[in-house]
């Protein structure tokens, strides 16, 4: 068994040996609760029972396609058109970016339909 400093139903610190032997008496006085060996700082201590925190895995943000992502997948001639804004469709698409997958797909379909880029390029950009 270890001793812990409990504060607001949470283990603030765990002493891995006798607190009176490793801390100043004023500090050792806070280590009054015996806890199981698997207790660590940050665990809960509710009604004399160890409560491990629930780990919630964050959900990654959906990918955002940007003008740079679009340009990187283009052929040299398509990049030239893209950089010089030779088609009004290019100006429209650049104004609509960044987009998530559904929006990016719609914009690429728009560029393919206008013969600004090929379907192969659109597929490459989305890959």
pLDDT of residue 1: 79
Residue 86: the pLDDT is 86
* Predicted TM-score of the model (pTM): 0.55
Count of alpha carbons within 13 angstroms of residue 92, beta-carbon side: 13
Kindly state the average pLDDT of the residues 80-89: 93
Please give the helix or strand (H or E) that residue 10 lies within, else none.
strand 10-15
User: At residue 15, does pLDDT exceed 90?
Assistant: yes
Closest CA to 79 of 68, 65, 63: 68
pLDDT digit string, tens, across residues 18-61: 999 999 999 999 999 999 999 999 999 999 999 999 989 999 98
In percent, the amount of the chain with pLDDT more than 70 equals 100
């Amino acid at each position: 068994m270890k001793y812990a400093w409990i504060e607001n139903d949470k283990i603030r610190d765990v002493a891995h040996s006798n607190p009176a032997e490793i801390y100043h008496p004023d500090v050792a006085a806070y280590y009054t609760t015996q806890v199981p060996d698997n207790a660590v700082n940050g665990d809960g201590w509710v009604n004399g029972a160890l409560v491990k925190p629930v780990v919630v895995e964050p959900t990654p943000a959906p990918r955002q396609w940007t003008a740079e992502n679009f340009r990187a997948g283009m052929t040299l001639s398509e990049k030239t058109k893209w950089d010089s804004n030779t088609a009004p469709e290019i100006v429209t698409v650049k104004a609509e970016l960044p987009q998530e997958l559904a929006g990016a797909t719609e914009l690429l379909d728009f560029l393919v339909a206008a013969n600004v880029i090929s379907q192969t390029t659109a597929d490459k950009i989305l890959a």
